[in-house]
Amino acid sequence: MSADELRAQFQAQGRPGLAEDRRRGARQARGMYAALAGLVAVICLVLIGVRLGQGDALGVWVATYAVGVALGGWGFVLARIGHTRWAMMVTCIAAALAGLGDSPAFR
């Protein structure tokens, strides 16, 4: 038997739609992580606008929000290319920076 015949027999053993289910699940995960990262980036941008609109002086909080925007954007890119674990890690860091920038210590 050739390798192609063995591969075809092995693939025929399992559930017929297993490969399609995995592809669909991976596609949904990429979409979910991309949406979450984009949401975090947009929230950081909105928070920058709100705080500047309130007349807050420029400070460290701008840098934390700006890094949050950058990391949120990078998480979106990572999710779209399929690196969902890295995307989630980067998005969590971006959300933590947004929370840090909104803390009373930076008011």
Q: What is the pLDDT of residue 26?
A: 87
29-51 pLDDT tens trace: 999 999 999 999 999 999 889 88
| Confidence at 100, pLDDT banded by 50, 70, 90 | confident
95 pLDDT more than 70 = yes
Among 46, 59, 53, which residue's Cα sits nearest to residue 107?
Answer: 59
Q: What is the pLDDT of residue 97?
A: 87
105 pLDDT more than 80 = no
